[in-house]
Structure 1
Amino acid sequence: GVVDRIAENLGEAVEGADLVVLATPVATFEAIAREIGPRMKEGAIVTDVGSVKGRFVKALEKLLPKNIRYVPGHPIAGKEKSGVSESTEVLFQGARWILTPTERTDPEALAAVETLCRAAGAQVRRMDADLHDRVFAAVSHLPHVAAYAMVCTVAELNTGSEEYIDFSGGGFRDFTRIAASSPEMWRDICLLNGNNIIEMIDRYQFSLNMMKRAIRTKDSNKLEGLFRSASDVRKGLK
């Protein structure tokens, strides 16, 4: 049930399709759009699940023929593991699915994609593409960078006689779970949303420096206040 039809190339794969979902690494979107655009039937819809929207929304709107209707999307769902063996029919149940329409987005196509998202069990939210990239640099891209950095930090401490990582408990494993995600995918996301991610890394470093300063000066009130503020926000997450 994984594959219904096999095609020799992308153009052949999309011929006759009413709706095409781009679910490949974001860096491949433009090349795919160039290849599939001329082979799609008039009025067909293209959507995507890319984690970066700003530059690709503009690029795909230019690359796809005017008679092909593009609806940019990003489901907030997924796991750190990939591949057919990790697929699940409930992946989108209760998840948010962000759509970033522009003034060029066809209303009927937008409604059709929203219907598809809801049929998968997702909650649809609309958002400006540039705002999307800044928001997800903070709540998705930065956490992945931090998780990769944490693993690198501890791995570099390992010696022949002391394997620090072997003693990792729930805190380390919970924090770094997403560091098992696809390095290729996250390489592309970081490079393509670089300015926003760099800003968020700077903000993260500022928070770390405040905690570092409080620890160094033994300012217990400051340190507890920082921890408490973060704890209150985290407890409020639904």
Structure 2
Amino acid sequence: MQPLWEQVTIVGVGLIGGSLGMALRKKGLAKSVVGVDVKEKILDTAVEMEAIDRGIVDLQAGVAEADLVVLATPICTSVRILTEIAPYLKKGCVVTDVGSTKNLIVETAARIMPEETVFVGGHPMAGSEQAGINGADLYLFENAVYILTVMPGTPEEPVQKLKQTLNSIGARVLEMNPVQHDFLVAGISHLPHIVAAALVNTVGRLHKDYPDILGLAAGGFRDTTRIASGHPLMWRDICTTNKEQILEVLKIFKETLNEMEAMIDDCDEEGIEAEFNRAREIRRGIPARMKGYLPVLYEIIIYVPDRPGVIAGIASLLGEAGINISDIEIMRVKEGEGGSIRLGFGSAEDQEKALTLFRENNIKAKIKL
């Protein structure tokens, strides 16, 4: 593919910035990918991981010759950086960001962007539990929804060029206005993270009086609260920059909880059952194989005998076939007999390969739905 950009500068070479750099370089979408970060060690790692061609700590120098600037830092930091770099952007430069809220940065860009430059808000709905450059993944954006918030009056050509870039790395691009975006993600992304954090902290309080509770909090509880391991700085910025929308969905959530609390208090068996049935039906309508903001794992349950080295053997079998394990959990074990293990994979393709491999090796396995 012919490069679409002479120079792409990524400010903030962490999980998102590093993954984007890898994808851009792999697809040949830019002649040069430059990384800007405050830590030279991060930049050195990014070069080693082939996420960028070169790194620089000088922000002004890093953006001066860029055709595309990607702000891949926490939201409030991106707003500050946008203000700092605006005077140094060259004619025709396109600036985008990857923040989870859009109103603040879009409004800021409308005020400060120089003439003959363009800002397009961006939000890749993809993530990982492992933050930082070491979590960067070439395929992070594959089949992921990538929302663009385009300001009225923005020229069509740079928007289409950015869309082509994102489509080329496997993303599914949607356009949305910033207000609509911020309310929707408050419900489907921000609320779940807040609730997950509250669930974990609730168990943390119970732990003071019931020390064994954390040992029992594996399995379903661990899966339900997996997203609570998100970066605290990022979530601080999300909560403060999307305050009104988050408070609105929290109000609706609390009303729902209050209704369920009343049903439980009244021993309303019919109402309780109906509420869980409604939740099950709504959940069935959620696409199962398209990435949203919450990290997706493609899971398999295997059944193995209780003997030394069995897990190492499974790992070796997958490793020799070039299949990477993204997550692993020992679910149930009966001494002397065996048990079940949950394996998580980063793609449906790896899941299918692993399932075939297990069956070829007479290992009982099934897809976890």
- Shorter-chain TM-score bucket reads over 0.9
Aligned-pair CA distance for 1:91: 0.5
Q: Residue 159 of structure 1: SS of its match in structure 2?
A: helix
Separation of aligned partners in 1, 2:79 and 2:111: 10
Unaligned runs of 5+ in 1: none
Aligned-pair CA distance for 1:182: 0.3
Are residue 202 (structure 1) and residue 251 (structure 2) matched? yes
Q: Which moved more, 1:180-189 or 1:96-105?
A: 96-105
Aligned to 1:31: 80
Give the 4+ runs in structure 1 shifted more than 4 A.
none
Letter in 1 for 2:95: V
Q: Residue 174 of structure 2: SS of its match in structure 1?
A: strand
Are residue 144 (structure 1) and residue 203 (structure 2) matched? no
Aligned-pair CA distance for 1:55: 2.1
Q: Deviations over 1:76-104 (max 9, x none)?
A: 11113211111111111111111111213
Separation of aligned partners in 1, 2:277 and 2:218: 23
Aligned to 1:55: 104
Separation of aligned partners in 2, 1:38 and 1:102: 20
Are residue 99 (structure 1) and residue 162 (structure 2) matched? no
Separation of aligned partners in 2, 1:110 and 1:102: 10
> In the superposition, relative to structure 1, how do residues 151 and 16 fare at CA in structure 2: closer, same or farther (>3 Å)?
same
Aligned to 2:159: 110
Q: Deviations over 1:147-188 (max 9, x none)?
A: 110011000111376231221122211111011000010011
Q: Which moved more, 1:155-164 or 1:6-15?
A: 155-164
Aligned to 1:15: 64
1:80-229, aligned counterparts within 5 Å? 80-159=129-208, 162-229=211-278
Q: Deviations over 1:192-220 (max 9, x none)?
A: 10111011111111111111111111111
Calculate the aligned-residue CA RMSD, in Å.
Answer: 1.3
Q: Residue 157 of structure 1: SS of its match in structure 2?
A: helix
Separation of aligned partners in 1, 2:187 and 2:266: 29
**Alpha carbons 1:77, 1:96 under 8 Å: kept:** yes
Aligned to 2:52: 3
Separation of aligned partners in 1, 2:154 and 2:219: 45
Of structures 1 and 2, the larger Rg is shown by 2
Unaligned runs of 5+ in 2: 1-49, 288-369
Letter in 2 for 1:112: K
Query: What is the count of residue pairs matched by the alignment?
Result: 238
Q: Residue 55 of structure 2: SS of its match in structure 1?
A: coil
Separation of aligned partners in 2, 1:71 and 1:161: 50
Separation of aligned partners in 2, 1:124 and 1:76: 10
Aligned to 2:280: 231
Q: Residue 230 of structure 1: SS of its match in structure 2?
A: helix
**Alpha carbons 1:37, 1:68 under 8 Å: kept:** no
Q: Which moved more, 1:134-143 or 1:6-15?
A: 6-15
Separation of aligned partners in 2, 1:78 and 1:193: 19
User: What fraction of aligned residue pairs are identical, expressed as a percent?
Assistant: 39
Are residue 43 (structure 1) and residue 92 (structure 2) matched? yes
Letter in 1 for 2:147: I
Separation of aligned partners in 2, 1:160 and 1:222: 32
TM-score (norm 2): 0.63
Separation of aligned partners in 2, 1:52 and 1:206: 25
Greater percentage in strand: 2
Letter in 2 for 1:156: R
